[in-house]
Amino acid sequence: MASRLKPELVTPVVAYLCSEQCEASGDIISAGAGSCCAVKIVESKGVRFGTEHELTPEMIAAQYCEITNMEGATSFPNAQDQFVSVLI
């Protein structure tokens, strides 16, 4: 397995992303073992507990199925947009 995880199979991706040719910004690219793919940040609708009271493990346990339900999930173009969505 280690023989397939050579830096030479990742550095061309980094070189392209750093080049003037590349017009992309904010993309997440997974590269390794001769494979390259885009990674997207996807977030479930989740549960908004608010900040006015203490959050407990019991509250998480009670809502865990809803927290992890990916039906109607939102895809974000970058981590910053996802972070801002949490603050709104």
Residues 25-82 have pLDDT tens digits of: 888 899 999 999 998 889 999 999 999 999 999 999 999 999 999 999 998 887 788 8
pLDDT top residue among 86 and 45: 45
Tell me the one-letter amino acid at 28. Answer: I
Residues of the chain with CATH 1.10.287: 40-88
Residues 14-41 have pLDDT tens digits of: 999 999 999 998 888 999 999 999 988 8
Which option is the CATH number for 40-88: 1.20.120, 2.40.50, 1.10.287, 3.30.300? 1.10.287
- The confidence score (pLDDT) of residue 11 equals 95
